[in-house]
Structures are given as structure tokens and as C-alpha cells.
Amino acid sequence: MTLLIVRRAAPEGPVIELHGWLAGSEIAEFKAVCGAPPLPFRIELANLVGASSDGVLALQEQVGRGINLAGASPHIKLLLRVRSEGKKSP
């Protein structure tokens, strides 16, 4: 499955929507879109089906930059939580 990245304007600021699967070469494209000014106000995950471990890490990097992730499914929330907890474990 591939990833569709949609950048759109919203009243509260720019939004990046992710549709599909965040993995492989799409991660570099995602990072490039997120790094292009102006920074997105939020990343909409409602249509993100899944992500590889590197994809999850890329999402967490954006959170570390202060970008809000919105609309994540329970599956994506679990991936983000497990990866985050895994980093804290010895």
C-alpha cells in the first residue's frame, strides 16, 4: 500500500493529511513535507492505515517538534504508545 500526503489550508493553520501506509520511501517524502515552511499546525491521521517502526518514529519526531497529531485510530495510537514505551525501557 502506498501513502498519499495531502497538504491543505484550514482556518487554524496548515494541515497535513496522511492516507494509507507510512513506510519505506514514503517516510522521506513525509519528512520533507513536514519540514517545508510553514510548519503544519497538525497532522491528520484519520486515514492512516498503518506505519512501519520507522514510520512511527517519523511521526514521533514531528511530535517532538511540537506538531499535533490528530484523528489517530486506536491501532495507530497503540503503535505510537508501544514505540514510545519501548524507547523508555532498558
* Residues forming a β-bridge with 19: 4, 47
Residue 61's closest CA among 84, 79, 77? 84
What is the structure's pLDDT at 82? 76
Backbone Cα Rg of the chain: 12
Please answer whether residues 27 and 58 qualify as being in contact, where contact means their C-beta atoms are separated by less than 8 angstroms. Answer: yes
> Where does 3-88 sit in CATH, by number?
3.30.750.24
Model confidence at 1, in pLDDT bands (50, 70, 90)? Answer: low
Strands 3-8 and 15-22: antiparallel
* Chain segment 44-85, per-residue pLDDT in tens: 999 999 999 999 999 999 999 989 999 999 999 999 987 666
Q: What is the pTM of this model?
A: 0.87
Q: Cβ(17)–Cβ(44) under 8 Å? A: yes
* pLDDT tens-place string over residues 26-44: 999 999 999 987 877 899 9
* Domain limits, the chain: 3-88
